[in-house]
Amino acid sequence: MSLTSLSVSELCTLSRKKEVKAEEIVLSFLNKIQEQEKKVSAFLLVLQEQALARAREIDQKREKGKLAGIPVAIKDNILTRGIRTTCASRILENFIPPYSATVVEKLEEEDAILIGKTNMDEFAMGSSTENSAFLVTKNPWDLRRVPGGSSGGSAAAVAAEEVPASLGSDTGGSVRQPAAFCGVVGLKPTYSRVSRYGLVAFASSLDQIGPLARTVEDCALLTQVIAGQDGKDSTLSSLPVPDYLKEMKEGLKPIKAAYLKGEFIEDIDPEVRQIYLNVLGLLEEMGAELLQIDFPSWEYALACYYLIAPSEASSNLARYDGVRYGFRHPSSDSLKEMYLSTRTKGFGQEVKRRILLGTFALSSGYYDAYYLKAAKTRRLICQEFEQALQKVDFVLTPTTPEPAFLIGAKEDPIAMYLSDVFTVTANLAGIPSISIPVGLTKQNLPVGLQVMANYFQESLLFKLAFLLEKKVKFRKN
């Protein structure tokens, strides 16, 4: 069996037993990247020489970390010291960060090897990875289709076996949605569980870094490594990080789970709906008690998200003005003209659209009518989740309303935004959420199940996801 087809846990076991060297592992994945990138285009930057040099260093170490020799891909909005970080935008095309994000430092402390930076929707704004300024990533299951977004490059790299695991960022579903489209596992941790220090901000009250991997066990291992205090992110929780791997395998008591009422899933793809219902049936066979719970504010969640997220984005992206760093348009006769031409040329269409929408929502005269109402709706969504999660352990939904769609099929931005209808609620509420692959359509496209739990209950998510993974036995054909 090829090394590239093994999970992180399997590779770690081989490494600990000294049956394989870090350099061998890295070479295998570099060869796979060279073979697959012509078709998939998951990476913006591959760090071949740096990764091999780091692998040789690790092979010489006596005491090795938990992820010794494991190649990991990093979404290109997560800062890497001395390595270009672009957010897939022309405005940061040549930006070299002077420091690394906390999650990168934590991975490197455990001897993981940074193998490259993955493609994404520009500034994480999109659901297809078609909004990158540089290239369009394809779904390894069907190269005519999108891998999802905005962490599409990270998900595609894992699905194509170019890396065993990767990191993405999730603001409204940007880890879970591409995980579902690409048939891998993706976690959005509780807001404040993982440091955002070094993550280029999109919407600061929603953003969260999360892992993508082929198995739930690998996802739990990466979360174990990247979670916890760093002294740099003031929003970070001081709660201790549990031993996710140990707790995941302890078994699960009889559970109660909520599912959505019929009207919420009436208009989704029929095959996605049937696979979702099949999983609910499987859970009942496993002894779970399923309850139908009302979420009256859910229908407003998407509108709420697309007011709050662009509003925060319009503020966060104001720093890209051509003065301090990044791209500056050369032909400008005045400061105002320089601002205008730099941002016009530097930002793509989707980023401009969200800046305009957010600026409008925050403007005097419209703040009360739009942003304030969205903030109040967000509070209602949080309350509904809090009430529901007092009665049940989990809330279950499809991850996406349809399987991966064709590249270029959603030119209407509203149609694209509907891809996030099931995922945005977890970000608005700040609760943890995981997507696991649970089936295939007749066209051999993966379908994901989203499982949400109460704040800081990642261990509980991993337990159920681990059990379902063994029951469903999802495999790429």
Residues with a known catalytic role: 75, 150, 174
In angstroms, the first-to-last Cα distance of the chain is 15
Burial zone of 131 (CB within 10 Å; 0-12 exposed, 13-18 middle, 19+ buried): buried
Tokens of 326: 């990044």
Q: At residue 229, what is the residue type?
A: Q
Q: E-assigned strands of 2-97? A: 43-46, 71-75
Residue 190 near residue 146, CB atoms below 8 Å? no
In angstroms, what is the C-alpha Rg of the chain? 21
Q: What share of the chain is helix, strand, coil (3-state, %, to 5)?
A: 45, 15, 40
Residue 22 near residue 60, CB atoms below 8 Å? no
Residue 445's contacts (CB-CB under 8 Å, 6 or more residues apart) are 141, 142, 145, 181, 403, 404
Burial zone of 468 (CB within 10 Å; 0-12 exposed, 13-18 middle, 19+ buried): buried
**Closest of 188, 195, 189, 187 to residue 229, by C-alpha:** 195
Q: Where are the alpha helices (DSSP H) in 115-207?
A: 152-159, 176-182
Tokens of 88: 């897939």
> Torsions phi, psi of 116, nearest 5?
170, 170
**Closest of 36, 52, 20 to residue 158, by C-alpha:** 36
Residue 438's contacts (CB-CB under 8 Å, 6 or more residues apart) are 275, 276, 278, 279, 447, 448, 449, 468, 472, 474
**Alpha carbon distance 431, 309 (integer Å):** 17
**Alpha carbon distance 243, 397 (integer Å):** 27
